[in-house]
Amino acid sequence: MDEVTGEVMGEVMVKAEQVWKSFGQLEVLKGIDLEVRNGEVVCVIGPSGSGKSTFLRCLNHLEKINAGRLWVNGQLMGYRQRGDKLHELREKEVAAQRRDIGMVFQRFNLFPHMTALENVVEAPIRVKRQAKASAMERGRELLTRVGLGDRCDSYPSQLSGGQQQRVAIARALAMEPKLMLFDEPTSALDPELVGEVLGVMRELALDGMTMVVVTHEMGFAREVADRVVFMDGGVVVEEGPPSQVIGDPKHERTRAFLSRVLRPED
């Protein structure tokens, strides 16, 4: 599709250049610059309203950005550049770009009228046109991998929140994405169910998946992230290894935020 900008892009999964986004009068993102390299796990933290979820949704073009450029896997998201003019991509082309990007939502968004296995195989069969039998086999494997091999035929309403979120992760993985986006994946869960979801995500990170995780789980960020990005007021305030951003923040706003969210066990 679109030409890769320079040889650097081979190493880089996500590249954001001066990304701006506003909803009407409200400016939510004010010039985000960020790079995520292949295999890297980046945790985005920050107070609510800081724009971190919006930025994540821009990454797979669920939101259109107003200014700047955004590349994922070497492709300019949502547009085609000809000379210095940008052309909007057609719906099918946007859909094709999204196939390589898995997304996990705060509220799971499983399809309630399908069983766990049907949820997982829907996109491989309909979008990737995989044969039904092999897609089902692979679906079972994925559900087993997230610890739900025995719940293939359960409907989402018969599963706990933690189980639903693990099905949602398996559903995203079924498309064999090169990048996984997590939008506060444990915020809607009862406290005792958070661990099982973080466990699956931790294993995914160990397997080398490139991940961008918006989260309030500081313990997870500190342990799993290669890099932590602190956002506030629509800008990246501070970024670096977790030991630095969470352990020894330089910026006053980061310190103020962390003092509000850090619990003793983190």
Residues that bind another protein (CB under 8 A): 60, 62, 91-92, 95-96, 98-99, 101-103, 105, 107, 109-115, 122-123, 126-127, 155-157, 168, 171-172, 175
For residue 17, give the 3-state DSSP assignment: strand
Name the residue nearer to another protein (CB basis): 22 or 109: 109
Q: Are 91 and 69 in contact (CB under 8 A)?
A: no
Name the residue nearer to another protein (CB basis): 4 or 114: 114
Closest CB 77 distance from another protein, rounded Å: 13
Residue 126: other Cβ atoms inside 10 A: 10
The two beta strands, 75-76 and 67-72, are: antiparallel
Closest CB 165 distance from another protein, rounded Å: 12
Closest CB 157 distance from another protein, rounded Å: 6
DSSP sequence for 115-175:
-HHHHHHHHHHHTS---HHHHHHHHHHHHHHTT-GGGTT--GGGS-HHHHHHHHHHHHHTT
Distance CA 140, CA 92 (A): 29
Distance CA 82, CA 89 (A): 12
Closest CB 128 distance from another protein, rounded Å: 8
Name the residue nearer to another protein (CB basis): 109 or 244: 109
Name the residue nearer to another protein (CB basis): 175 or 258: 175
Give the residue carrying structure tokens 């210095």. 84
User: Measured in Å, how far apart are the chain's first and last C-alpha atoms?
Assistant: 44
Closest CB 159 distance from another protein, rounded Å: 11
Name the residue nearer to another protein (CB basis): 13 or 168: 168
Taking every pair of C-alpha atoms in the chain, what is the biggest distance, in angstroms? Answer: 56
Closest CB 187 distance from another protein, rounded Å: 14
Q: How many helices (H) and strands (E) does the chain have?
A: 9, 12
Name the residue nearer to another protein (CB basis): 15 or 171: 171
Closest CB 156 distance from another protein, rounded Å: 7
Name the residue nearer to another protein (CB basis): 37 or 99: 99
Q: Supply the Cα-derived Rg of the chain in whole angstroms.
A: 19
100 burial (CB, 10 Å; 0-12 / 13-18 / 19+) is middle
